[in-house]
Structure 1
Amino acid sequence: MQTAFVFLWIYFVPKVSCEGCLESIPTITVVNRCPKNTTEWIKSKRRKQCHLVNQNCTTLERFEYHCLPDKYHESFMEVCAPRKNIVGGHCPFYDEEENSVAMNLYQSCKGHTTPCPDLYNSNVAYRYQECYTDALKSTKDDNNESTLSKMVSVSTFAFHILITIIQLSMLIAFVYFIKKHKRIPKDCIAMGDLRSQQNTKSTTSSRQNSDVSIGSQINTMPSRSLSENNYISNSNSSLVSNHL
């Protein structure tokens, strides 16, 4: 019971006294990576000069240089913030929403090659590099998923465009086909009218030729009758002469 009380006091008391340090906000700098050893950490700490920041969040000694991943493991950031006690063997991160250092309950460092202790200060998290490696891996995985998602979205968009183009092409071809086949009956009707006119002209011409032939026959018939009359008249005259 006493151990549990000490545990809660170690974790929650500093958290309450240091949470929401607004003076940390201007000191945030996004970096490509964090220090990997003590030498790099000291160099970065001197460059950041957190002891010169005017703040009322905590004591001067506890306002320390940190380099931590953000809450969503999207980037690393250097920040001057109140030092926290990290307990339970977890990796820390900087929470920009709360403006404070916090421990990641979903990222244990007990099983790392260099395991973290059950209790350590947040400003020396660089000693447990696998906390950063895991964060970097998570960032890369998220970036890969984001890239893959973008590629899938682009492919899907291109596929929809291709389908739309194919559908439009088929529609245009169908309309052209319908219009083309609608012209054929009109052409046939025109040809039929032409043939009908030709047949009518031919019939009329035939009738006219027939009428002319009949007329010619009729006209030749009187001439033949006149010859016969002349022949009969001459015959009669001859008979009369012989009789006399």
Structure 2
Amino acid sequence: MSKSDWQAAAKRTGCNGTRGYHCVPDKFHSSLIEFCYNKTRILVNKGNCLELAANGVLNYVKCNEFTEGCPEKHYFSDEIYQYQYCLSLVFRCFASDIKCLTQK
């Protein structure tokens, strides 16, 4: 996914200047969810990916044990497409989370 893909998806879903487009894993890490969030963006601390909690809030997910792809600097939630390992899921785990994958 690229910035232009992200902008096209925002337009397709009807997100606007006050409700920002987001695409993140669900809380079970089984699929990606596209939605318009009640904020345009939030600051995400380095070492974290995001997930959408059941109550509709974006939660941090620590990724410091990923084999690769964990963000090494702070970023905004609407730029998560730059961190593909935060969006790549297999077997209800992030694809780069070996600890989770070995438990499955």
TM-score interval for Structure 1 and Structure 2 normalised by the shorter chain: 0.7 to 0.9
Regions of 4+ moved over 3 Å: 108-111
Answering whether residue 69 of structure 2 is matched by residue 69 of structure 1, we say no
Q: Distance in 1 between matches of 2:12 and 2:44?
A: 25
Q: Distance in 2 between matches of 1:84 and 1:45?
A: 16
Unpaired runs of 5+ in structure 1? 1-35, 53-59, 141-244
Q: Which has the larger radius of gyration?
A: 1
- TM-aligned CA deviation for residue 101 of structure 1: 1.1
Match of 2:82 in 1: 127
Q: Distance in 2 between matches of 1:130 and 1:69?
A: 11
Q: Which amino acid aligns with 1:40?
A: D
- TM-aligned CA deviation for residue 103 of structure 1: 0.9
Q: Deviations over 1:162-198 (max 9, x none)?
A: xxxxxxxxxxxxxxxxxxxxxxxxxxxxxxxxxxxxx
Q: Distance in 1 between matches of 2:2 and 2:13?
A: 17
Q: Is the 8 A contact 2:50 2:58 kept in 1?
A: yes
Q: How high is the sequence identity, in percent, across the aligned residues?
A: 25
Q: Distance in 1 between matches of 2:20 and 2:66?
A: 24
Q: Deviations over 1:184-213 (max 9, x none)?
A: xxxxxxxxxxxxxxxxxxxxxxxxxxxxxx
Match of 1:93 in 2: 51
Larger helix share, 1 or 2: 1
- TM-aligned CA deviation for residue 86 of structure 1: 0.9
Give 1:15-164 correspondences, 5 Å limit.
Answer: 36-51=1-16, 60=18, 63-81=19-37, 82=39, 83-95=41-53, 97-105=54-62, 107-108=63-64, 112-113=68-69, 115-133=70-88, 136-139=89-92
Q: Is the 8 A contact 2:44 2:75 kept in 1?
A: yes
Match of 2:102 in 1: none
Q: Is the 8 A contact 2:46 2:75 kept in 1?
A: no
Unpaired runs of 5+ in structure 2? 94-104
Q: How many residues end up aligned between the 2 structures?
A: 92
Q: Is the 8 A contact 1:85 1:119 kept in 2?
A: yes
CA root-mean-square deviation? 2.6
Q: Quick one: structure 1 residues 42 and 98, their matched pair in 2 at CA, closer, same or farther if it must change by over 3 Å?
A: same
Q: Which amino acid aligns with 2:27?
A: K
Using CA pairs under 8 Å that are at least 6 residues apart, name the structure with larger relative contact order, 1 or 2.
2
Q: Is the 8 A contact 2:68 2:85 kept in 1?
A: yes
- TM-aligned CA deviation for residue 132 of structure 1: 1.7
Helix, strand or coil: the match of 1:73? coil
- TM-aligned CA deviation for residue 40 of structure 1: 1.4
- TM-aligned CA deviation for residue 46 of structure 1: 1.2
